[in-house]
Amino acid sequence: MERLLLTLGIAAFFLLCLWGMWVGWRRKARSQSARIAPFPEIPAEPGEFQLESTGVYVGTTTAGNWQDRVVTRGAGPRSGAVWRLHPDGVAVERGGLPDFWIPRASITGIRRDSRLAGKVTGTDVLLVITWRLGDVELDTGFRGDELDDYPQWIEELSDHDIKGGAQ
């Protein structure tokens, strides 16, 4: 009988922890939805893509705060993704999760990094785009399958090539 009660107690504690995490995630999403505008949708006709990479969408955080994950409107979960560079922006296509658009004019920087949204790697294997969405600056990260693509992305989106963005 003691063993059964102990097992039930541990199971109840585990379920209580899961419930607490779910409530916290929902509370954070509600809070963020008040200050972060909806992510732009991919235009119907974005034009021919200039560059494409497959990999994992790591997440989006507030710029400069690599652990402050944006979870509102489906932006929180990691997922397989395809990034496509078009003349006017970057299409972030996430399998089964909401896709979004990063307008080229809102991009303020691009870099390689080793940490974002709770993911830490030993080397700079993440490609991070810093961009403005309304009054908020965000970092969106991607772990590409081919790291050899990163110099092309950085060259295409570096400050000298950004039209209309903050420099």
Residues 55 and 117 in one domain: yes
Those residues whose C-beta lies under 8 Å from the C-beta of residue 5, and which sit 6 or more positions away, are: none
For residues 15-24, average pLDDT? 92
Residues 75 and 19 in one domain: no
% of the chain exceeding 70 in pLDDT? 95
Q: Report DSSP state, residue 114.
A: S
Residues 20 and 87 in one domain: no
For residues 70-85, average pLDDT? 93
Q: What is the pLDDT of residues 147-157, one digit of tens each?
A: 999 999 999 99
C-alpha–C-alpha distance, residues 52 and 19, integer Å:
39
Is 46 inside a domain boundary?
no
% of the chain exceeding 90 in pLDDT? 77
Q: Is the pLDDT of residue 98 over 70?
A: yes
Amino acid identity for residue 69 in this structure? R
Is 42 inside a domain boundary?
no
For residues 32-49, average pLDDT? 92
Those residues whose C-beta lies under 8 Å from the C-beta of residue 25, and which sit 6 or more positions away, are: 71, 76
Is 166 inside a domain boundary?
no
Number of structural domains (the chain) is 2
Q: Is the pLDDT of residue 167 over 70?
A: no
Say what the pTM is: 0.82
Is 45 inside a domain boundary?
no
Q: Is the pLDDT of residue 45 over 50?
A: yes
Residues 126 and 81 in one domain: yes
Q: How does DSSP assign 9-36, residue by residue?
A: HHHHHHHHHHHHHHHHHHHHHHHHHHHS
Q: What is the pLDDT of residue 159?
A: 62
Residues 56 and 104 in one domain: yes
Lateral strand order in the sheet of 51-62: 100-103, 89-94, 79-86, 51-62, 136-144, 126-133, 107-113
**Per-residue confidence at 27, pLDDT binned at 50, 70, 90?**
confident
Q: What is the pLDDT of residue 164?
A: 45
Residues 155 and 90 in one domain: yes
Is 57 inside a domain boundary?
yes
Is 41 inside a domain boundary?
no
Q: Is the pLDDT of residue 161 over 60?
A: no
Residues 56 and 126 in one domain: yes
Residues 18 and 61 in one domain: no
Q: Is the pLDDT of residue 165 over 90?
A: no
Residues 109 and 148 in one domain: yes
C-alpha–C-alpha distance, residues 131 and 139, integer Å:
7
The domain of 19 spans: 1-35
Q: Is the pLDDT of residue 125 over 90?
A: yes
Torsion angle, alpha carbons of 88, 86, 103, 130, to 10: -130
For residues 111-137, average pLDDT? 93
**Which CATH number goes with the domain that contains 84?**
2.30.29.30
Q: What is the pLDDT of residue 73?
A: 86
C-alpha–C-alpha distance, residues 152 and 12, integer Å:
51
Note the helical H segments in 84-157: 150-157
